[in-house]
Amino acid sequence: MKVDPKISKLMAQVTRRLRKQADQQAKKRAKKKRQEIKAARNYSKAVAIRYAKKADKPKSMMYQT
C-alpha cells in the first residue's frame, strides 16, 4: 500500500509535534520534582535547626544520634 506523500508529510509533522509536547511535559515533570526535593530539603533543614536551638528536644529526635 503506497501512502500519499502529503499524508506522510502530515503524519511526520504530527509525530514531531507529539514528540515535542512529550519532551516538554517530561522537562516540566523533572523541574517540578527538583523543586519538591529542594523544598523538602530546605524544610527538613529548617526543622532540624529549629529543634537544635531548643533545649528540650522532641522524643522523635532523642532516639536519633
Residue 20 lies in a domain: yes
Instruction: Give this prediction's pTM.
Output: 0.53
Per the domain annotation, does 60 fall within a domain?
Answer: no
Residue 64 maps to a domain: no
Q: What is the pLDDT of residue 21?
A: 97
Domain count within the chain: 1
Residue 31: domain span: 5-53
What Å distances lie between residue 43 and 13, 35, 36, 51, CA to CA?
Answer: 45, 12, 10, 12
- Whether 62 maps to a domain, the answer reads no
- 28 inside domain: yes
Four-residue CA torsion sign, 16, 18, 21, 27 = negative
Question: Does a structural domain hold residue 9?
Answer: yes
Question: What's the pLDDT band for 57 if we cut at 50, 70, 90?
Answer: low
